């Protein structure tokens, strides 16, 4: 087997190919903007040229004169849309078509609808606006920005974790560091553009849109339009990358649906790459101040972490990563505080491991700095502070294999060969540095519903409104049915991404495998039980009178230990059944019972990894080698190794791919990615894929993912921890540490670029 | 560092016909504002008279071996012609600006960015899209099979462009080593970052392509 398809180790499923693989290599795979519709009109957005103020007037004349233009929708003729509710599946509380106020640069102003895409674009170029402009605040330190405590001002960050008296512990700590870090604005930039296609049949609305939460979109758009959600269907079978950006619904969806109703014609609006930077969400820039105190033998006696995050004027978005960082090591005392800084910007949102990426970067970078101050090996420093119980309330982890991950990754990486002296390793013109970091991600789980149907031929069909964003959810859900039902994966079909199917949670927080597979497992076991009961109670079948507990399923048959068997088709005949179907609503233990009903109405909730008497997290360790050219300062990453433990691995192939993708995201975050902001105009200046640099093929060389076997029966029924967001958590800090090891220079502000190293 | 606009980003060099080249030659549009879709203050430029008035141009495209006769706005890109007018939607739009590679097709066997190519300029050439690779009996092209075997995609959105680009890369003789493949496949962005698996897929397929 090749490396892309690792053989399963203990407690891992088979590395089967993705169910939709063939459709993805033949072009048959349908994404939301690919559905053919009769009489389709094309919509193009026009956005504001200022970041703060209001629209004085719009001049539509030249735009209307473009042949083929059907209508231009603006605040003048869009009436009666309700403002979205922020934090309930919506990206912001502002529906820009409801008034003249401009909250951020490139805010939606108009939707031009024309017979062709070319005419709509042409007209959009010709629309003019005059503005009352006020001076915008761009980011941290901008005049007019407003700083607030996250506690008391945000929905999700309810407390700043603390333990003991951190100031007193710092005052007496023998070894101390006091450091500041920052992470930049980043945009998800999935390769699939954002789009909405809306089509009405009488009062029934169908929306085709890439979405990580179709039930949220369905209910959200119904709410804004004031229609019955039962009349809205959202279709999103395959999503061309999301990373959080397609989780919350943006105001565009309701506007396109409104316009399609007004024109009585289906409309497709594909958002340009540039406009995607401001009409959807992003990862806000953050700042961190960490003070840490330790004993000479390396025990952390004090950890103080203050974080600042940018948000918008109308919405108090926060990630508040101290909820995780305060649980990672056996600290003696903890003090934290998170603040939000309001500026004239679009509202930020979830982006792959939203809290952990910035906050763990700061913590793990500080860990490396402390290890250096202590003259300790960075791995050993983590070992000294490793714990099976979180320090704040003393709750145990259901499982934690952090040091096993470190040991396996260190071995594969050859950490022993590292000379700890800074600047000591070199290969010709290249300075070599090596660094490592911890990765952690909570195991979240939410309520999910599935329909599983078995035919007499042994075909299984699973329907669930889960979201195939590239994680492989269809494949692992299929495996979860194929295993107990003893069927080949060829017999399995999994349909996702449609509100005609039973609801599943938002595809965020790495919950999908746990949530959906738990429900599929229950459904499959019920089908098995029904078949076994029928087999043993039938009057004269080959298995009549046996104990159901002694039966199994294999190759389309019910089999007993002694080899006696009955074919599914025969059993179905005896039962008088055409199909056997189970509809399962699975609410994880410990979640309020109403959370399932809420899911149907578009509210997704999780039992978070940090909640409960025992806490649930996946761990990993990442090692990076950097090479820095001694003359040009070019930074390369020839090698990266990550070892990760995530409970039961349903499919080593898809799990490895997700972790690999995450590690490469980490390379991007460490060395490349940043959305640059013009401080005067509060405008993103590099709003395209040439100027916003993501990792390309040539940026990645040797990459190794080690799947560390881990068994955890307490984490959830399926025994799985999500791995989609774990991979990118540790990489940037490991890169930072490696750059220091190579050069002796601490670059604390991401991304690290060659101009940071000019005077090394 | 990142080579966002490397091969096959510079479609001009490969085909000679692109939307960018066409417009800068001054044929269609006089003065477009530089920033797409941003509502500037002031008076818009007068609409330049398109050479064909507002009528459609008759365009014949040879796609996957079949002639397609279309009436198109002269500004239509090859990408939009394929997706919106012919209905082969396997070719994907990721940027519309020649920056991502998602729209890569083969023209007379060479990889070309269809978003940077005007449909009218693609006439008379053999255009191959992802739909045209498998044999009629359903047998996949070795590159398609290699992408499955090596899990060389996650969301699959960049994949049609990656596969066509990879075939171009092999045919150009730029698949000699892992390093060379990485370099010559760097014009095709994959945000899911399946890159190492894409390199493995190209390595697998190149041998079979030679044998075929
Ligand atoms: S390069 Fe053509 S769509 Fe991106
Ligand atoms: S597979 Fe998702 S962008 Fe490449």
10 Å CB burial of residue A239 (0-12, 13-18, 19+) is: buried
Closest approach of A672 to chain B, Cα-based (Å): 8
Closest approach of A192 to chain B, Cα-based (Å): 5
Closest CA to A359 of A546, A160, A175: A160
Q: Tell me whether residues B94 and A273 touch, CB distance under 8 A.
A: yes
0.90 exceeded by pTM: yes
Q: Residue B3 above 60 pLDDT?
A: no
Is B114 at the interface with chain A, CB within 8 A?
no
**pLDDT-derived band at A144, boundaries 50, 70, 90:** very high
- Strand, helix or coil for residue A661: helix
Name the domain count of chain B: 1
Domain span at residue B65?
20-98+118-129
10 Å CB burial of residue B35 (0-12, 13-18, 19+) is: middle
Q: Are A446 and A605 in contact (CB under 8 A)?
A: yes
8-state DSSP, B83: I
8-state DSSP, B43: P
Distance of CA B175 to the CA centre of its chain: 19
Contact list, B95 vs chain A (CB under 8 Å)? 193, 273, 688-689
pLDDT recorded at residue A389: 98
Instruction: State which residue of chain B sits closest to A691, comparing Cα positions.
Output: B4
Q: Which of B80, B92, B144 sits opposite A117 (nearest CB)?
A: B80
Helix residue spans in A444-496 (DSSP H): 473-482
Between the CA of B112 and the centroid of ligand 1 the distance, in Å, is 10
**pLDDT-derived band at B30, boundaries 50, 70, 90:** very low
Pull the structure tokens for residue A439.
């990765």
Share of chain A above pLDDT 90, in %: 97
Closest approach of B109 to chain A, Cα-based (Å): 18
> Cα(A197)–Cα(A43) distance, rounded to whole angstroms?
9
> Cα(B22)–Cα(B121) distance, rounded to whole angstroms?
9
Instruction: State which residue of chain A sits closest to B91, comparing Cα positions.
Output: A27
- Strand, helix or coil for residue B178: helix
Strand A41-48, strand A108-114: pairing: antiparallel
Size of interface A-B (CB pairs under 8 A): 274
The neighbouring-strand residues paired with B60 are B69
Q: In CATH, which of 3.30.300.130, 3.30.365.10, 3.40.50.10420, 3.90.1150.10 is domain A445-600?
A: 3.30.365.10
Q: Residue B34 above 50 pLDDT?
A: no
Closest CA to A430 of A751, A739, A644: A739
Ligand 2 and B100: CB distance under 6 A = no
Q: Which of B99, B188, B191 to mutate to test the pocket of ligand 2 (most atoms within 8 A of CB)?
A: B191
> Cα(B165)–Cα(B106) distance, rounded to whole angstroms?
8
Ligand 2 and B153: CB distance under 6 A = yes
8-state DSSP, B85: I
8-state DSSP, A578: S
Q: Residue B27 above 60 pLDDT?
A: no
Cα A91-A319-A663 angle, rounded to 5 deg: 100
> Cα(B190)–Cα(B196) distance, rounded to whole angstroms?
11
The distance in angstroms from the start CA to the end CA of chain A is 44
Strand A702-707, strand A101-102: pairing: unpaired
Q: Residue A513 above 70 pLDDT?
A: yes
Between the CA of B85 and the centroid of ligand 2 the distance, in Å, is 25
The distance in angstroms from the start CA to the end CA of chain B is 36
Ligand 1 and B94: CB distance under 6 A = yes
Is B189 at the interface with chain A, CB within 8 A?
yes
8-state DSSP, B1: -
pLDDT recorded at residue B44: 59
Instruction: State which residue of chain A sits closest to B46, comparing Cα positions.
Output: A62
Ligand 1 atom closest to the Cα of residue B9 is 1
Mean pLDDT of chain A: 97
Q: Are A280 and A182 in contact (CB under 8 A)?
A: no
pLDDT recorded at residue B50: 46
Q: Tell me whether residues A125 and B32 touch, CB distance under 8 A.
A: yes
> Cα(B127)–Cα(B105) distance, rounded to whole angstroms?
7
Q: How many CA atoms lie within 13 A of A564 on its CB side?
A: 13
Q: Which residues, 6 or more positions from A27, have their beta carbon under 8 angstroms from its beta carbon?
A: B88, B89, B90, B91, B129, B130, B131, B160
Q: Which of B102, B155, B164 to mutate to test the pocket of ligand 2 (most atoms within 8 A of CB)?
A: B155
Ligand whose nearest atom lies closest to the CA of B162: 2
Instruction: Quickly list DSSP for A61-97.
Output: HHHHTSTTEEEEE-TTT---PPPPPBTTTBS-S--GG
Q: Which of A34, A67, A241 sits opposite B155 (nearest CB)?
A: A241
The neighbouring-strand residues paired with A704 are A641
* CA dihedral sign, ordered A348, A353, A356, A357: negative
Between the CA of A669 and the centroid of ligand 2 the distance, in Å, is 18
Q: Which residue has the tokens 């399962």?
A: A584
pLDDT in tens, A29-75: 999 999 999 999 999 999 999 999 999 999 999 999 999 999 999 99
Catalytic residue (one of A285, A306, A309, A725): A725
Helix residue spans in A420-556 (DSSP H): 473-482, 512-537
Q: How many CA atoms lie within 13 A of A254 on its CB side?
A: 34
The neighbouring-strand residues paired with A302 are A293
The neighbouring-strand residues paired with B153 are none
Ligand 2 and B198: CB distance under 6 A = no
Distance of CA A237 to the CA centre of its chain: 18
Q: Tell me whether residues A34 and B89 touch, CB distance under 8 A.
A: yes
A669, containing H or E segment: helix A652-671
Closest approach of A270 to chain B, Cα-based (Å): 10
Determine which of A252-266, A319-333, A654-668, B7-21 has the lowest per-residue pLDDT on average: B7-21
Atom 3 of ligand 2: nearest residue by CA position: B190
pLDDT recorded at residue B35: 46
CATH classification at residue B122 = 3.10.20.30
Q: How far is CA A721 from CA A381, A440, A619, in A?
A: 26, 11, 10
Q: Residue A76 above 90 pLDDT?
A: yes
pLDDT recorded at residue B39: 81
- Which of B57, B158, B193 to mutate against chain A (most A CBs within 10 Å)? B193
Q: Which residue has the tokens 């003789």?
A: B173
Q: How many CA atoms lie within 13 A of A698 on its CB side?
A: 17
Between the CA of A194 and the centroid of ligand 2 the distance, in Å, is 15
> Cα(A606)–Cα(A619) distance, rounded to whole angstroms?
20
**pLDDT-derived band at B54, boundaries 50, 70, 90:** low
Q: Are A695 and A668 in contact (CB under 8 A)?
A: yes
Atom 4 of ligand 2: nearest residue by CA position: B190
**pLDDT-derived band at A132, boundaries 50, 70, 90:** very high
Whether A725 is a known active-site residue: answer yes
Q: Are B100 and B158 in contact (CB under 8 A)?
A: yes
Q: Residues 18-77, chain B: which have Cβ within 8 Å of A?
A: 32-33, 35-45, 47, 54, 73, 75-76
> Cα(A193)–Cα(A267) distance, rounded to whole angstroms?
16
Q: What residue ranges of chain A are covered by domains with CATH 3.30.365.10? A: 1-30+394-444+608-760, 445-600
- Which of B38, B113, B119 to mutate against chain A (most A CBs within 10 Å)? B38
Residue B87 lies in a domain: yes
Mean pLDDT over residues B26-45, rounded? 52
Contact list, A489 vs chain B (CB under 8 Å)? none
pLDDT recorded at residue B52: 44
Q: Tell me whether residues B91 and A472 touch, CB distance under 8 A.
A: no
Between the CA of B207 and the centroid of ligand 2 the distance, in Å, is 24
Q: How many CA atoms lie within 13 A of A133 on its CB side?
A: 16
Distance of CA A153 to the CA centre of its chain: 24
Share of chain B above pLDDT 90, in %: 72
pLDDT recorded at residue B46: 52
Q: Residue A2 above 90 pLDDT?
A: no
Residue B70 lies in a domain: yes
Mean pLDDT over residues A615-633, rounded? 97
The alpha carbons of chain A give a radius of gyration, in whole angstroms, of: 27
> Cα(A359)–Cα(A159) distance, rounded to whole angstroms?
16
Q: What residue ranges of chain A are covered by domains with CATH 3.90.1170.50? A: 32-136+192-279
Where does A1-30+394-444+608-760 sit in CATH, by number? 3.30.365.10
Is B4 at the interface with chain A, CB within 8 A?
yes
A191, containing H or E segment: none
Q: Are A296 and A374 in contact (CB under 8 A)?
A: yes
Q: Are B47 and A123 in contact (CB under 8 A)?
A: no
Between the CA of A91 and the centroid of ligand 2 the distance, in Å, is 24
pLDDT in tens, A625-674: 999 999 999 999 999 999 999 999 999 999 999 999 999 999 999 999 99
Ligand 2 and A552: CB distance under 6 A = no
Mean pLDDT over residues B3-30, rounded? 35
Share of chain A above pLDDT 70, in %: 100
Ligand 2 and A241: CB distance under 6 A = yes
Edge-to-edge strands of the sheet including A557-560?
A551-554, A557-560, A565-567
Between the CA of B5 and the centroid of ligand 1 the distance, in Å, is 11
- In 10 A of CB B135, how many CB atoms? 8
pLDDT recorded at residue B36: 47
Architecture of the CATH domain A32-136+192-279: Alpha-Beta Complex (3.90)
> Cα(A263)–Cα(A78) distance, rounded to whole angstroms?
12
SS (H, E, C) B88-135: CCCCCCCCCCCCCCCCEEEECCEEEEHHHCEHHHHCCCEEECHHHCCC
Q: Residue B17 above 50 pLDDT?
A: no
> Cα(A668)–Cα(A18) distance, rounded to whole angstroms?
26
**pLDDT-derived band at A454, boundaries 50, 70, 90:** very high
Closest CA to A617 of A405, A444, A411: A444
Ligand 1 and B96: CB distance under 6 A = yes
- In 10 A of CB A419, how many CB atoms? 11
Q: Which of B100, B152, B159 to mutate to test the pocket of ligand 2 (most atoms within 8 A of CB)?
A: B159
A300, containing H or E segment: strand A300-311
Q: Which of B96, B160, B191 sits opposite A273 (nearest CB)?
A: B96
């Amino acid at each position: 087997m090749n490396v892309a398809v690792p053989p399963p180790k203990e407690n891992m499923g088979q590395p089967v190919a993705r169910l939709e693989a063939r459709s993805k290599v033949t072009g048959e795979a349908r994404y939301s903007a690919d559905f053919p519709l009769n009489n389709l009109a094309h919509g193009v957005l026009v956005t504001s040229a200022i970041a703060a103020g209001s629209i004085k007037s719009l001049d539509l004349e030249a735009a209307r004169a473009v042949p083929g233009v059907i209508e231009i929708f603006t605040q003048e003729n869009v009436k009666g849309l309700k403002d979205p509710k922020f934090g309930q599946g919506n990206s912001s509380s502002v529906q820009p078509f409801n008034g003249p106020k401009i909250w951020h640069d490139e805010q939606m102003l108009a939707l031009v609808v024309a017979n062709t895409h070319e005419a709509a674009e042409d007209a959009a170029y010709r629309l003019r606006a005059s503005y009352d402009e006020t001076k915008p605040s761009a980011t941290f330190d901008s005049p007019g920005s407003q700083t607030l405590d996250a506690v008391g001002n945000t929905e999700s960050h309810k407390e700043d974790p603390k333990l003991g008296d951190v100031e007193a512990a710092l005052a007496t700590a023998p070894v101390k560091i006091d450091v500041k870090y920052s992470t930049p604005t980043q945009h998800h930039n999935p390769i699939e553009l954002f789009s909405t296609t809306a089509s009405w049949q009488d009062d029934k609305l169908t929306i085709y849109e890439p979405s990580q939460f179709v039930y949220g979109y369905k209910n959200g758009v119904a709410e804004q339009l004031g229609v019955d959600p039962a009349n809205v269907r959202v279709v999103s079978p395959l999503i061309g990358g999301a990373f959080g950006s397609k989780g919350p619904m943006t105001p565009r969806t309701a506007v396109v649906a409104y316009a399609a109703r007004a024109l009585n014609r289906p409309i497709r609006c594909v958002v340009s790459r540039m406009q995607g930077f401001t009409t959807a969400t992003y990862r806000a820039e953050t700042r961190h101040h960490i003070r840490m105190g330790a004993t000479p033998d390396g025990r952390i006696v004090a950890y103080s972490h203050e974080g600042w995050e940018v948000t918008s004027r109308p919405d108090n978005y926060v990630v508040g990563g101290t909820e995780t960082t305060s649980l990672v090591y056996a600290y003696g005392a903890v003090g934290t505080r998170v603040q939000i800084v309001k500026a004239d910007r679009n509202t930020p949102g979830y982006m792959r491991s939203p809290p952990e990426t910035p906050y763990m970067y700061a913590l793990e970078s500080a860990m490396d700095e402390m290890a250096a101050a202590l003259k300790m090996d960075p791995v050993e420093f983590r070992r000294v502070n490793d714990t099976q119980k979180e320090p704040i309330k003393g709750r145990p982890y259901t499982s934690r294999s952090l040091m096993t991950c470190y040991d396996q990754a260190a071995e594969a990486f050859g950490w022993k060969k590292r000379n700890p002296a800074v600047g000591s390793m070199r290969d010709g013109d290249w300075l070599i540095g090596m660094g490592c970091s911890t990765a952690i991600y909570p195991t979240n789980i939410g309520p999910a519903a599935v329909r599983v149907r078995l035919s007499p031929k042994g075909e299984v069909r699973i329907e669930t409104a889960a979201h195939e964003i590239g994680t492989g959810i269809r494949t692992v859900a299929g495996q979860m049915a194929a295993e107990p039902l003893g069927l080949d994966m060829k017999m399995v079909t999994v349909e996702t991404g449609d509100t005609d199917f039973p609801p599943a949670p938002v595809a965020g927080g790495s919950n999908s495998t746990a949530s959906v597979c738990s429900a599929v497992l229950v459904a499959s076991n019920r089908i098995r039980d029904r078949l076994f009961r029928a087999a043993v109670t039938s009057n004269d079948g080959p298995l009549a009178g046996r104990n159901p507990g002694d039966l199994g399923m294999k190759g389309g048959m019910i089999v007993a230990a002694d080899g006696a068997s009955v074919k599914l088709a025969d059993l179905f005949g005896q039962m008088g059944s055409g199909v056997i179907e189970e509809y399962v609503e699975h609410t994880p233990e410990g979640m309020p019972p109403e959370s399932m009903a809420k899911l149907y109405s578009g509210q997704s909730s999780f039992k978070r990894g940090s909640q409960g008497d025992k806490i649930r997290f996946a761990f990993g360790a990442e090692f990076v080698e950097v090479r820095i050219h001694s003359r040009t300062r070019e930074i390369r990453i020839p090698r990266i190794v990550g070892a990760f433990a995530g409970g039961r691995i349903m499919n080593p192939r898809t799990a490895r791919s997700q972790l690999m993708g995450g590690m490469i995201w980490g390379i991007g975050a460490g060395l490349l990615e940043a959305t640059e902001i013009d401080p005067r105009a509060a405008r993103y200046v590099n709003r395209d894929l040439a100027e916003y640099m993501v990792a390309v093929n040539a940026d990645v060389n040797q990459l190794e993912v080690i799947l560390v076997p881990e068994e955890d029966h307490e984490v959830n029924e399926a025994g799985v921890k999500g791995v989609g967001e774990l991979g990118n958590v540790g990489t940037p800090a490991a890169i930072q540490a490696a750059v220091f090891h190579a050069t002796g220079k601490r670059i604390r502000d991401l991304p690290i670029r060659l101009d940071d190293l000019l005077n090394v | 560092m990142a080579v966002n606009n490397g091969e096959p980003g510079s479609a001009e060099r490969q085909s000679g016909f692109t939307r960018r080249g066409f417009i800068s030659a001054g044929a269609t549009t006089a003065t477009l504002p530089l920033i797409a879709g941003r509502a500037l203050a002031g008076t818009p430029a007068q609409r330049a008279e398109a050479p064909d008035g507002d009528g459609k141009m008759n365009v014949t495209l040879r796609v996957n071996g079949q002639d397609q006769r279309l009436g198109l706005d002269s500004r239509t890109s090859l990408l939009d012609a394929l997706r919106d007018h012919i209905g082969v939607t396997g070719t994907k739009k990721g940027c519309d600006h020649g920056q991502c590679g998602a729209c890569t097709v083969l023209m007379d066997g060479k990889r070309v960015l269809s978003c940077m190519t005007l449909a009218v300029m693609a006439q008379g050439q053999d255009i191959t899209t992802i739909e045209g690779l498998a044999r009629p009996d359903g047998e996949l092209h070795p590159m398609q099979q290699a992408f499955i075997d090596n899990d060389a995609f996650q969301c699959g959105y960049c994949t049609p462009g990656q596969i066509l680009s990879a075939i171009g890369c092999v045919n150009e003789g730029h698949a000699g080593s892992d390093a060379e493949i990485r370099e010559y496949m760097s014009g095709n962005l994959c945000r899911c970052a399946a890159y190492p698996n894409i390199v493995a897929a190209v390595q697998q397929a190149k041998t079979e392509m030679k044998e075929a």
